[in-house]
Structure 1
Amino acid sequence: MDFLDDDQHRELRAAVGAIAARFGGRYYAEHARAGEPCRELWATLGAAGFIGVNVPQEYGGGGGGLAELALVSEELAAQGTPLLLLLVSSAISVEVIAEFGSAEQRKRWLPGLADGTSTVVVAITEPDAGSNTHRIATTATRDGDGWMLRGTKHYISGVDEADALLVVARSGQSTAGRSLLSLFLVSTDAPGLVRTPLPMDVMLPEKQFDLHLDDVRVPAGALVGEEGAGFRQIFHGLNPERITGAALGVGLARYVLGQAASYAQDRQVWDRPIGAHQGVAHPLAKATIDTELAALMTQKAAWLHDRGLPAGEAANMAKYAAAEAALAAVDAAIQTHGGNGLSAEFGLLPYWGLARLLRIAPVNREMILNFVAQHSLGLPRSY
């Protein structure tokens, strides 16, 4: 194994970092406080070819894999400009459409997803389903030569930035009585689709929405892949979401640790830098160790996915480790700054909200522990 970036990855990291650095942490913090999307950064990255680094070349993308997309996600966060929209549009939607979409769907959506001029977000979560995808109540029923969608989706990210939704709906029932799920591409301006912003106290550029699908009719060509195979298809995208989410967490941790180390070098109390005191240095050192360990598991998970190998275990472990590392890093960085850690001047608090969110989504830490207990240790299923 080679633990160093190859030349291509070094160049990619440098190019993404150079763009992100022009915007920087102040840009992100201002947009997070205002709840305004980072559209200028997104457009610049898209024009440079980095939003669609994992889109096949025949559709205008970079032809890379999840390893390259994770690197983009990490480096953006490491420059203080994490983008959650990458997790849903570039990770889930690109991976699902490229793998399971029809020729028409790939031709329609992948070029825009490649250059960032189009975004597709995912509508899976529901008020009464949560982590239990089998309890999805949104239905898709045959309606002539098309489909009729009815139901409610909850906590859907970036609807205001999206051109379409990848909607997960119940389209039938198996012989064992379990719901059969199917995926549909639905335009965000479809008649009958009503979006309601969800008020959030956390500071993020991305907004959250409730969606109500009131007799939303879509054509037959909106069905993605095979009818009733949506559970398998969506999980082909959820592992990439967890891996890019882990990469974002790693980059976020690296950014705030860099800020904290710089502050601890410059800030002097009792005639020496505060970083000389172990009470300040050790939490930062421990967070750095945890961050590097999470980075290794993230690289492994992306490597497995790109080779078509089972990546669920590694993806879950990477997301867990990165979320814990990011939250510990932000907390240590804020503590290092003392009262300045809560000031707008130093801009750390928006990153605490994002790091705290990573413990919950995508997939909360308790469900990851359930997964590892059952699948890695062979313990009885607890839920």
Structure 2
Amino acid sequence: MDFNLNDEQRQIYEYGAQLAQRFDNAYWLDHARRHAFPQEMFSKIADDGFLGLMVPQEYGGAGLGMTEMALFMEGTANHGIPLLMMVVGPTMSLAHIANHGSEFQKKELLPRACRGEIQFCFAITEPGAGSNTIKARTLARQRGNRFSLSGEKTFITGADIADYCLVVARTKPHEEVKRKTDGFTLFAVDLKKNGVNKQRVKVSIPLPEEQWTLFFDEVDLGPEDVVGQVDEGFSILFDSLNPERIILAALCCGIGRFALNKGVAYASERIVFGQPIGAHQGVQHPMAKAYTAVEMASLMTRRAAWEFDSHLPAGASSNMAKYAAAEAGIEAVDAALQAHGGSGFTEDTGIYELYPLVRLLRTAPVNRELCLSFIGEKVMGLPRSY
């Protein structure tokens, strides 16, 4: 398997350096501290054609794949400008609609979303179900050829700035299906519809994107809002969930590199006891170890993306990439923070504020324990643990 990048892929990977000339980490950090979405930077990304990386050209996109989207995310995160809206919108929602959406969604919504005129978020998590999606209770009751959506979704990234939400709902209650995976349907829901309300979830992490709970109260939906086939949504759901793991693994790798680059620069200049602190193995080795972990996680992330693009089973690699990258990102930020000493905790440095983000990604959107359980059972053949 060749992980060498072609010219187009390398340009995508290096786009982060170009973007950072105008919208650097200081810009991102300012917005993160204020929980203010960086619309100007997002508009620039749209103008440069990156929102539609995974959308076919006939619908306004670039016609590329998961590999290129992961390279984009890793490349921007390398420069300290990660965007979670690129995860829930272009990666999870737009690509999914491109593969399974209705003609209305493909011809009307996708071109506008690729241009940045509208945004998408993604809703699967529920307060009572958490990671156990099978127990989801948000229900779209069918009435003729229309549906009435009622329920609650939580930890929805960017619901305040999104125009549409890709909602995972049941069209048959859990108690009425023969197989537990039956009765799921995905809908592209216009968040301006009657019956949609939202409430902010106050998360104590400096991020430009906020988290929300969405409430659906008999929201009227039509056949044009269905993504894929009614009652068969679970079979295509992992077309969104594996990319989510891959893209967030790429983000963690990039943030890890960004932190380590800052740590190396500081440790090379900071003189204590007559020599740079980076010459001491107590400072050098933790960063070297973290760097190795980041690079290994990056390779697994590219393997997972390649498998997904090649229509091969990508669950094992996606879970291994997500697990490895989150752990490597935490290790990298921690090593860089330790190398900075007390200055690492100052606002001027901006190192400490990266830690809550990578620590979050050990837990969300799928926690490391579920990743390890998947690897143990599905990859290694151990008995099911849950």
Fold-level match, TM-score > 0.5? yes
Kept in 2, the 8 Å contact 1:70–1:243? The answer is yes
Match of 2:306 among 295, 303, 310: 303
CA distance in 2, matches of 1:313, 1:164: 30
CA distance in 2, matches of 1:181, 1:101: 15
Number of the residue aligned with 2:74:
74
* 1:150, distance to aligned residue in structure 2 (A): 0.7
CA distance in 1, matches of 2:334, 2:113: 35
Q: How does 1:56-67 map to 2 (within 5 A)?
A: 56-67=56-67
Number of the residue aligned with 2:12:
12
Number of the residue aligned with 1:191:
194
The 10-residue stretch of structure 1 (15-24 or 159-168) with the greater mean CA deviation from structure 2: 15-24
SS in 2 for 1:161: coil
CA distance in 2, matches of 1:109, 1:233: 20
* 1:123, distance to aligned residue in structure 2 (A): 0.9
CA distance in 2, matches of 1:86, 1:342: 28
SS in 1 for 2:333: helix
1:285 equivalent to 2:288? Answer yes
After superposition, the C-alpha distances for 1:7-49 in whole angstroms (9 at most, x for unaligned) are 1212222334201342111111111111111211111011001
CA distance in 2, matches of 1:177, 1:82: 36
Number of the residue aligned with 2:346:
343
CA distance in 2, matches of 1:9, 1:176: 42
Number of the residue aligned with 1:33:
33
* 1:108, distance to aligned residue in structure 2 (A): 1.7
Letter of the structure 1 residue corresponding to residue 161 of structure 2? E
CA distance in 2, matches of 1:25, 1:367: 32
* 1:208, distance to aligned residue in structure 2 (A): 0.4
Match of 1:322 among 321, 325, 338: 325
Kept in 2, the 8 Å contact 1:137–1:169? The answer is yes
* 1:317, distance to aligned residue in structure 2 (A): 0.4
Number of the residue aligned with 2:93:
93
CA distance in 2, matches of 1:201, 1:243: 25
Number of the residue aligned with 1:175:
178
**Which consecutive unaligned segments of at least 5 residues does structure 2 have?**
none
1:236 equivalent to 2:239? Answer yes
Query: RMSD in angstroms over aligned alpha carbons?
Result: 1.2
1:209 equivalent to 2:212? Answer yes
* 1:220, distance to aligned residue in structure 2 (A): 2.1
Kept in 2, the 8 Å contact 1:25–1:81? The answer is yes
TM-score, length-scaled by structure 2: 0.97
Number of the residue aligned with 2:129:
129
SS in 2 for 1:159: coil
CA distance in 2, matches of 1:380, 1:286: 33
1:263 equivalent to 2:266? Answer yes
Where has structure 1 moved over 6 Å in runs of 4 or more? none
* 1:177, distance to aligned residue in structure 2 (A): 5.9
Kept in 2, the 8 Å contact 1:134–1:179? The answer is no
Alpha carbons of 1:88 and 1:340: their partners in 2 closer, same or farther (altered >3 Å)? same
CA distance in 2, matches of 1:349, 1:302: 30
* 1:178, distance to aligned residue in structure 2 (A): 5.5
* Matched residue count: 383
SS in 1 for 2:142: strand
Kept in 2, the 8 Å contact 1:20–1:41? The answer is no
Kept in 1, the 8 Å contact 2:52–2:90? The answer is yes
After superposition, the C-alpha distances for 1:212-245 in whole angstroms (9 at most, x for unaligned) are 1111111221111101111122211110111011
CA distance in 2, matches of 1:305, 1:21: 32
Alpha carbons of 1:15 and 1:200: their partners in 2 closer, same or farther (altered >3 Å)? closer
CA distance in 2, matches of 1:120, 1:75: 22
CA distance in 1, matches of 2:180, 2:214: 27
CA distance in 2, matches of 1:307, 1:115: 27
SS in 1 for 2:50: coil
